A and B are shown apart, each in its own frame.
Chain A
Amino acid sequence: MSSALLTALSDLEEAAVLDEVKRRLAAGESSGGILEDCRDGMIHVGKRFENDEYFISDLMMAGHIFKQATALLDSGKTGEAREPVGVIVMGTVKGDVHNIGKDLVVGLLRAANFAVSDLGIDVPPESFVETVKETGATVVGLSGLLTTSFDPMRDTVAALAAAGLRDKVKVMIGGGPVTGQVCKYAGADGWAANAQSAVTMANAWT
């Protein structure tokens, strides 16, 4: 592990992370190995969030740095990264066009080495069903900022059941007004109070 890369990412030092990634690529290191170090840095960021040392703004900045680092690594890809730890389908449910929370969770899940199918916003239940069938995902994440998203969340869970997929996937929900009561209403398996807890939940389920 490169302590310089881990420390820079953990401290949200954007320029230092990107410089270090470039330096190591130029030195001939495999992109797969560097990517793993970036992921370890993101794990540190997540821990700092769980310890109330970091907040949403820090997660957004960390996710943005990680995205730039992976873009650099993709452009000079060598070596193999680990296999994804799981496959997840994510989207903001039908009738809701808010993407910020969903995008943050997608970024953190990818940093945690999940393969994520991001269906975007205003996603109808049938699209979640089809994508689970196509990808073999074992986790579905439903996002919504409006209280009017509660019924589409419930409809999506029902559609997964009607398609015979309910016992093959775990469903998590999240978004501003989501609570345990909403989780029960929607028939989901869990709810995430914030983006980092969504990652923790996904890790526990895979």
Chain B
Amino acid sequence: MNSQELYAQRMSLIDKALALEPVERIPALYMGIALAPKQMGVTMAQYCSDPDLALAVTLDYVDKLETLDGINMHPSAHMTIGLTAIWFSRILTPGKELAEDALWQVQEEEVMKPDEYRVLIEDGYEAFQQLIFPRVIDLDFLAAGQKYLVEHGNGIFRSIEERGYVPLCCGNTTIPFEMLCGARSMQEFFLDLYRRPDEVEAAMDVMVPDLIGLGVGTAQLLGVPRVWLGGWRSASAMVAPKLWDRFVWPYYEKIANGLIEAGVMPVFHWDQDWTRDLARLRELPAKKCALNPDGMTDVRKAKEMLGDHMAIVGDVPSSIFAVGTPEDVREYVRALVSDVGPTGLILCPGCDAPINTKPENMEAFAAACVEFGRGA
């Protein structure tokens, strides 16, 4: 089978899983942004500065694993620019602020002052970006990254497909909560929710059309009708219900529906524990979204509540990849298939397999997906 035929077969399989239809075997995805360069002998500094190299080492590493059907998420340009754009925070970068082979990290600091909610409310999202970006990123680097995205981003995803792999998501968007939390710093932003809730809500409302546009525009540019819709600090375990019901869920609902109306499937990439509020996802149209938890959300509860409503992508925890054994990985996948499969499941590392994944554990993941996913 050539790579085009392989891609078509794998895409068909993933489409069935996303539609909750019976599958001949359970599909499995790679996810390990920093792991591929680590395993292929490329430094994190090289990975962050050279998107062509980042793509090449990722595809080569996935080839080595042999059995995976696709890649959950791959950066469409320079890795750290994408992070800056959705965190509104400075990213400490390998080869710059950090050692050549260190992992990038988000710098937690208050880059936005409380009176600057007014900029969003009165002048809009674009003016707000122009205010914040100079504080968190070199503007020449940002411009170079945007140019790369426009000129080469689509090619990145065609290259993934031409190698026979399905890119599950392209690009990313999130809710206003996450971006403002990054800009204000978590401590200050959480206090804002108690101290100036009306102002925060008004600023969030302004951002919604732009964040829908970000997801839809990226999907159109990159030619993949599925978008990563992220959440990390807005998780149920982090936010009191009365705040979550006001500042988190309504925005997921609006943005997800906006994406769906434009023909784009939101893939809820939810880190942390969201178990308390999983039922809210039933308010979205059935089979038009997917849930991608990271191992902290109760995935069995998710299956129970959402099994007839949306597919689950995940959720082998990062800690097992880092400190577990191949047998631990195998057993996790076995139990996951048994309890959450066979329909509506796409096997994948939760969040991602981290940089310090033991290579034998990633190999065990790929092998376990074949062992337990076949004959579904």
Contacts and interface: CB of A to CB of B under 8 A. Distances in A.
- Most chain A beta-carbon contacts within 10 A, residue among B108, B195, B272: B108
Interface string A98-136: 111001000000000000000000000000000000000
Interface in A28-64: 54-58, 60-61, 64
B355 A185 contact: no
A150 B323 contact: yes
Given A61-B190, A98-B105, A14 B195 contact: yes
B320 A181 contact: yes
B193 interface: yes
A173 to B, nearest CB: 12
B239 A55 contact: yes
Given A58-B240, A97-B92, A98-B108, A147 B195 contact: no
Given A103-B187, A181-B319, A57 B239 contact: yes
Interface string A175-202: 0111101100100000000100000000
A97 B107 contact: yes
Interface in B81-104: 92, 102-103
Contact of A179 (B239, B243, B272, B319): B319
A148 B240 contact: no
A150 B358 CA distance: 13
A95 B101 CA distance: 12
B186 A100 contact: yes
Contact of A177 (B92, B102, B186, B317): B317
Interface in B246-266: none
Contact of B319 (A54, A60, A97, A182): A182
Given A57-B239, A58-B240, A150 B356 contact: yes
B356 A97 contact: no
A103 B187 CA distance: 10
B103 A64 contact: no
A151 interface: yes
Given A55-B238, A57-B238, A97-B105, A148 B354 contact: yes
Interface string B272-314: 1000000000000000000000001000000000000000000
A179 B320 CA distance: 9
Contacts of A64: 187, 191
Contacts of B22: none
B105 A56 contact: no
A148 B99 CA distance: 14
Q: For this complex, into which size category does the number of interface residues on chain B fall?
A: 35 or more
A56 B237 contact: yes
Interface in B315-337: 317-324, 328
A54 B237 CA distance: 9
A100 B108 contact: yes
A181 to B, nearest CB: 6
A146 interface: yes
Nearest to B234: A57
30 contacts: A14-B194, A55-B236, A55-B239, A56-B190, A56-B239, A57-B190, A57-B238, A60-B191, A61-B191, A64-B191, A97-B92, A97-B105, A97-B107, A100-B108, A146-B354, A147-B321, A147-B356, A148-B103, A148-B355, A150-B323, A150-B356, A176-B296, A177-B319, A177-B322, A178-B319, A181-B320, A181-B323, A181-B324, A182-B319, A194-B237
Given A55-B237, A177-B354, 17 more contacts: A14-B194, A14-B195, A54-B240, A56-B190, A56-B239, A61-B190, A64-B191, A96-B105, A97-B105, A97-B107, A100-B186, A147-B321, A147-B355, A148-B354, A150-B319, A150-B323, A181-B323
Interface of B: 92, 102-103, 105, 107-108, 186-187, 190-191, 193-195, 236-241, 243, 271-272, 296, 317-324, 328, 354-356
Interface of A: 12, 14, 54-58, 60-61, 64, 95-100, 103, 146-148, 150-151, 176-179, 181-182, 185, 194
- By Cβ-Cβ distance, the 10 closest A-B pairs, closest first, are A147-B354, A185-B323, A147-B322, A56-B238, A55-B240, A60-B190, A177-B319, A57-B190, A179-B319, A57-B239
